[in-house]
C-alpha cells in the first residue's frame, strides 16, 4: 500500500494513524499482544541504519543477473513502516509478539529482498544451481520454500522435492521459490530473501499484491477474479513450455541416424507431457471460472446497479 511520508520520518506515526493507514483493525492489533513503544523502538533503530543495506541488496541483484536463464533481477530494502506492519500482522497470526527490539534483525528474514525472473518453468533448475553454487556458505540450512497451487502437477512438485525444497501449497494462487541468505553486516547478522519465479508468476504476484493482498484479502468480491488471474498465469506458463519444446523440435536435425531419431523421440515425449499439462491447466481454469460463477454473477448485478443499468432490459 503506498503510504505518504509521516510528518517526522525519524519517528513512527501515532498508533491509530498507523493502524488506519495500513488497514489493521484495533482488535487485530490487540490480539497481536504488542507494546506500541517496542514498535517505536524498532522503527527508530531500523531507520537509523537500513539505508546502508542498499549496496548489499544491489550486489545480490547484480550477481543474479549472471545466473543462467535469468531474464531480469531486482532488489529492495524493506521500508521501515512496512517492517512494523509485517511485525504486527505476523504477531496477529501467531497471537503473540513475533519480534522485539532485541531480536527483530534475526526474526525478519527479508530485510533485504531480491528477485530473479526466468522465462520458462523448466529454467528454474539452472537458477537454483547458480544460487546454491554462488552463496554456499550464506544460504541458511533450511530448505528453500517452493510455493505451488493446488492444481500444479505432480512433476513440478517432484522437481522441487528432488532439489530438496520444501513444497508448500498456497491457497492464494501464489507461485515462487524462496531462498534465505544469512548476511554479516556491521558485526551482526541480517537476512536476505531471494525470490525466483517466471515472468507470468511475477505478473500475477504484482497484480495481486497491488489490488488484493494483504489489505483486501478477505474481500469476497475480489477473490474469484484474483483466482482467474492466477490460473491464467499458470496456463500461460504451461503453453510457453509447449512453445519452447516445439521451437527446439524445429531445430532438430533430420532423423537420418539412430542418435537423431532418439533425440526426436525423447523430445516428442516431452512435448506430449507438457501439452497434456497445459490442457489440464486450461481445464482447471475453465472449472475454476465455472465454480466461481455464483460469485461473479452477483458482482455483475452490483456493477449494473452502480452504473444505473436496468437489469430487466440490460440497457
pLDDT in tens, 258-293: 988 998 999 999 898 889 888 888 887 777 667 666
Of 306, 298, 160, 170, whose CA–CA distance to 227 is shortest?
A: 170
Residues 40 and 116 in one domain: yes
Of 153, 182, 183, whose CA–CA distance to 167 is shortest?
A: 153
Query: Residue 28 domain-assigned?
Result: yes
Residues 153 and 78 in one domain: yes
> For the chain, what is the domain count?
2
Query: Residue 217 domain-assigned?
Result: no
Residues 73 and 162 in one domain: yes
Q: How confident is the model at residue 315 (pLDDT cuts 50, 70, 90)?
A: very low
Residues 45 and 160 in one domain: yes
pLDDT in tens, 173-223: 899 999 999 999 999 999 999 999 999 999 999 999 899 877 777 777 788
Query: Residue 8 domain-assigned?
Result: no
Q: Which residues pair with 112 in a beta bridge?
A: 77, 192
Residues 58 and 125 in one domain: yes
Bridge pairing between strands 145-148 and 176-185: antiparallel
User: Cell 484479502 maps to which residue?
Assistant: 217
pLDDT in tens, 132-155: 999 999 999 999 999 999 888 888
What is the residue range of 276's domain? 223-306
Residues 164 and 241 in one domain: no
> 3 pLDDT exceeds 60?
no
| Whole-Å CA distances, 37 to 9, 26, 43 | 16, 16, 10
In whole numbers, what is the pLDDT of the chain averaged over residues? 89
pLDDT at 122: 93
d(CA 283, CA 286) in angstroms, rounded, equals 5
pLDDT at 224: 80
Given a contact cutoff of 8 angstroms between Cβ atoms, the answer to whether 212 and 200 are in contact is: no
Residues 79 and 205 in one domain: yes
Amino acid at each position: 500500500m503506498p503510504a505518504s511520508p509521516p510528518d517526522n520520518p525519524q519517528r513512527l506515526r501515532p498508533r491509530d494513524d498507523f493502524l488506519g493507514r495500513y488497514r489493521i483493525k484495533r482488535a487485530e492489533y490487540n490480539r497481536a499482544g504488542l507494546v506500541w513503544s517496542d514498535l517505536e523502538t524498532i522503527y527508530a533503530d531500523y531507520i537509523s541504519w537500513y539505508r546502508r543495506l542498499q549496496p548489499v541488496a544491489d550486489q545480490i541483484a547484480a550477481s543474479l543477473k549472471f545466473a543462467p536463464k535469468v531474464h531480469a533481477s531486482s532488489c529492495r530494502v524493506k521500508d521501515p513502516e512496512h517492517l512494523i506492519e509485517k511485525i504486527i500482522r505476523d504477531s496477529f497470526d501467531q497471537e503473540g509478539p513475533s519480534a522485539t527490539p532485541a531480536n527483530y534483525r534475526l526474526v525478519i528474514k527479508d530485510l533485504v529482498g531480491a528477485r530473479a525472473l526466468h522465462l520458462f518453468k523448466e529454467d528454474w533448475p539452472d537458477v537454483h544451481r547458480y544460487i546454491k553454487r554462488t552463496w554456499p556458505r550464506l544460504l541458511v540450512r533450511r530448505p528453500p520454500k517452493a510455493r505451488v497451487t493446488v492444481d500444479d502437477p505432480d512433476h513440478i512438485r517432484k522437481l522441487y522435492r528432488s532439489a530438496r525444497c520444501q513444497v508448500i501449497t498456497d491457497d492464494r494462487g501464489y507461485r515462487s521459490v524462496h531462498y534465505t541468505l544469512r548476511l554479516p553486516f556491521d558485526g551482526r547478522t541480517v537476512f536476505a530473501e531471494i525470490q525466483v519465479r517466471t515472468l507470468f508468476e511475477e505478473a500475477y504476484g504484482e497484480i495481486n499484491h497491488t489490488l488484493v493482498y494483504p489489505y483486501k484479502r478477505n474481500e469476497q468480491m475480489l477473490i474469484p477474479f484474483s483466482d482467474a488471474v492466477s490460473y491464467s498465469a499458470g496456463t500461460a506458463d504451461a503453453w510457453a513450455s509447449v512453445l519452447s519444446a516445439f521451437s527446439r523440435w524445429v531445430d532438430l536435425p533430420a532423423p537420418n541416424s539412430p542418435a537423431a531419431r532418439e533425440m526426436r523421440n525423447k523430445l516428442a515425449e516431452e512435448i506430449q507431457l507438457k501439452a497434456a499439462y497445459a490442457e489440464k491447466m486450461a481445464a482447471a481454469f475453465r472449472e475454476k471460472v465455472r465454480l466461481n460463477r455464483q460469485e461473479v454473477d452477483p458482482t455483475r448485478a452490483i456493477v449494473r446497479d452502480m452504473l444505473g443499468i436496468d437489469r430487466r432490459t440490460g440497457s
